A and B are shown apart, each in its own frame.
Chain A
Amino acid sequence: MHSDRLESLLENSRGRPDRLIEVLLDVQDSEGYISEHAMRRIAQVLGVPLMNVYSAATFYKAFSLTPRGKHTCTVCMGTACHVRGAPLLLHELEGQLGVLPGMTTPDGLFTVERVNCVGACAMGPVVILDGAYRHHMTPAALRKVIRQLRKAEGQAEVKTNA
């Protein structure tokens, strides 16, 4: 991570261990992940033992310790979305992209995430694609979107039938 950017995120938190979660969230939002270097710097500036930074970074689902893909596809797995078939969407993504939730495709293009409720329950099943909320998603619609994104990245379409 660019050191100037990291330093500016840590500015208001010097000697403030209570700011750890906020700082980690800022770094995550800015870089897409928390690097070892960032954690060491955070430990120094905030005055938190390195182990504690690592514990917090691995405790909360918001943080990723590895870089995320170019496109993030988050499937809501809340109760309302679940009864409307959200598991089908995860299955579809597994078939299309070959990765499980929390993983990124080897080419670094797609990260699949699952989240436990985004609060748009009446609109389920909900998938958040690169920050945009898609509602009433179906496996077919999801397949179409992945296809479009792949095309935009210049990738060939993947046939999923064995």
Chain B
Amino acid sequence: MPELTSVQSLAELRRQITARRASFKTTITICGGTGCSASGSQPVVEALRRELAGRGLQNTVLLRTTGCHGFCEQGPLMVIDPGGIFYCHVTPDDAAEIVARTVVEGQVVERLLYTDPVSGRKIRTESEIPFYKAQNRVLLSLNRLVDPTSIEDYIAIGGYAALEKVLAGMKPEEVIEQIKASGLRGRGGGGFPTGRKWESCRAAHGSPKYVVCNADEGDPGAYMDRSLLEGNPHSVLEGMIIGAYAIGASHGFIYVRREYPLAVKHARQAVEQAREYGLLGKNILGTGFSFDVEIARGGGAFVCGESTALMASLEGRPGEPRAKDVHTVEAGYRNKPTNLNNVETWANVPHIINRGAQWFAAMGTEGSKGTKIFALTGRVRNTGLVEVPMGTALRTIVFDIGGGPSNGAAIKAVQTGGPSGGCLPAEKFDLPVDFEALDQAGSMVGSGGMVVMDEHTCMVDVARYFLEFLLDESCGKCVPCRLGIDRMLEILNDITAGRGTPQQIELLEDLAQTVAQASLCGLGKTAPNPVLSTLRYFRHEYEAHIRDRKCPAGVCRALISYSIDAAKCTGCGVCAAACPSGAISGAKKQPHTIDAGKCTRCGICRSECRFNAIMVA
């Protein structure tokens, strides 16, 4: 393990690594991210290793397990270079054929190729797949090229070159100017101009100074940060080291949600390796700049994504936020100047340094520069991580990249910004993903979660779901959040149970304004957003629940009833066996019936019926 004691030695090491790898003719890349691991990518890796060893190919074929490629539903994913041949749903049994046909003979295995769900065609390479093609994967494309547990992989593709550039000849103020000129804004949801934040922290009084990477990623439905930290932890680290240098910080933390054990593991390994190579610790690359990083785990609290709560957690206390009249850049961790940025924000830094602020600013809109990663999920065909330039229309993301509706049901809305964001209806899909544009429309870019909803989603239920989530996650300190969200949920529960009154809508709107203005922290302040945006765009659904006691989407249990269509029912009995309330009865091969008195409308029967015989009214 070479400990690098000068900037030049890092460049030299890069040359050596590249030379060492020239002997590998073929590279097989397998995605080992959380998603593909869940689908069984590990056994595939084992099978390939055995197959390659059996054929004596281990010295000419490089087998690399990488982090998340972002197309999780197609996993386990594999890419073979040269050529970029893309295989999906790979199983261990395919290993032999893949090695024999593709690696040795250079032929594709047709059945493993990706089939475009819209055109029905088989597609050969990753770059031709519509899901990837329409994206601009500045950050995510690197996941494909590195084994996250190998610092040398990262160095080989140019990693830490930005750090070299900075330490070789840039003053801290110059670094800050570059970040300011790029227009980079916080990617965690706040959208605060990053350069200005660094500048304020640099100017603040107090020592030591700290930098923090917020990898708490609490928004349900968002996993961009997981993918970056799991898949390319060194890119985040490099950004932090550069930031620490610019700000004058000597210590840093990466605060990772404990629900991401693989990200914790890879981050820890990356820090250890960086230390071994002299890229962290005292006198980095012999320049006299010292900086080290510690990994801290979250304890399971969404509120710890809020900067002051996160810092309270780092200090060993419950994650209760404090007032932000004094910002954390002036007094944060242990009351010292602390610069906190999101994972994706940090990951953008090396690119900006390497390719220049102008390159970054050339992408995006007037107010929102660069690219943004979204986690596109829900009722859409292609779910996964989507990286696009800011300013891309929602329609492009949902239809061109996402492939449109997954179930044939019309897409009704897209929810962005997690529990702090809002729901935008299909009529608004021409809106660009831009901080100001989405704010004005009543939603927000947020951290990147984008959940697609169709006509089977009840928007009142969605508002209720988010309130329940936020009430569960509230720290409980302040009245508007603890009691206010509780009372808003009480009203939503009344409405979804068929007890709603029109006066409650007025009360909801009044209370929402108070909660938004008076809450202590961002959780409470943004809690009313899902309610307010659904009231703005889907008021007719609220009115149906209140006036007609109906749930148009067929979701709210108190307002629907299940019945069996005798014409379609084959009497297979699957529903009766599945019913947890024993509400379904019928003789074998005879149409079954549902006892409305026992039925709790849980929906399990409908999810299991293969004949579409269960009806909701």
Contacts and interface: CB of A to CB of B under 8 A. Distances in A.
A21 B375 contact: no
Most chain B beta-carbon contacts within 10 A, residue among A19, A24, A115, A160: A160
Given A121-B377, A139-B608, A63 B218 contact: no
Contacts of B600: 91
Given A18-B316, A60-B319, A83-B379, A162 B302 contact: no
Interface stretch (A48-56, A65-73, A103-111): A48-56
B481 interface: no
Contacts of B598: 162
Contacts of B313: 21
A121 B222 contact: yes
Interface residues of B, number: 66
Contacts of A18: 314-316
B321 to A, nearest CB: 13
B220 A120 contact: no
Most chain B beta-carbon contacts within 10 A, residue among A96, A120, A134: A120
A148 interface: no
Contacts of A83: 378-379, 451, 453, 457
Contact of A21 (B35, B297, B383, B472): B297
Given A60-B319, A61-B300, A88-B607, A79 B38 contact: no
Interface in A117-142: 117-124, 126, 133-135, 138-140
A31 interface: no
Given A79-B220, A79-B415, A162 B301 contact: no
Given A83-B378, A119-B34, A121-B221, A140 B299 contact: no
A77 interface: yes
Contact of A60 (B296, B301, B577, B580): B301
A140 B302 CA distance: 31
A19 B316 contact: yes
A122 B297 contact: no
B217 interface: yes
B478 to A, nearest CB: 15
A22 interface: yes
Contact of B451 (A20, A59, A62, A79): A79
A68 to B, nearest CB: 14
A25 interface: yes
B14 to A, nearest CB: 32
B72 A85 contact: no
Nearest to A116: B220
B492 to A, nearest CB: 15
Given A61-B301, A162-B598, A21 B259 contact: no
Nearest to B318: A59
Interface string A77-99: 11111111101100110111000
B415 A123 contact: no
A116 B453 contact: no
A56 B318 contact: yes
30 contacts: A16-B316, A19-B316, A20-B317, A24-B299, A25-B297, A60-B299, A60-B301, A60-B318, A63-B299, A78-B220, A79-B377, A79-B449, A80-B383, A83-B453, A91-B580, A91-B600, A91-B604, A95-B581, A115-B259, A115-B300, A117-B217, A117-B220, A121-B221, A121-B223, A122-B377, A124-B377, A135-B35, A160-B582, A161-B577, A162-B582
Interface of A: 16-22, 24-25, 46, 48, 52, 55-56, 59-63, 77-85, 87-88, 91-92, 94-96, 115-124, 126, 133-135, 138-140, 143, 160-162
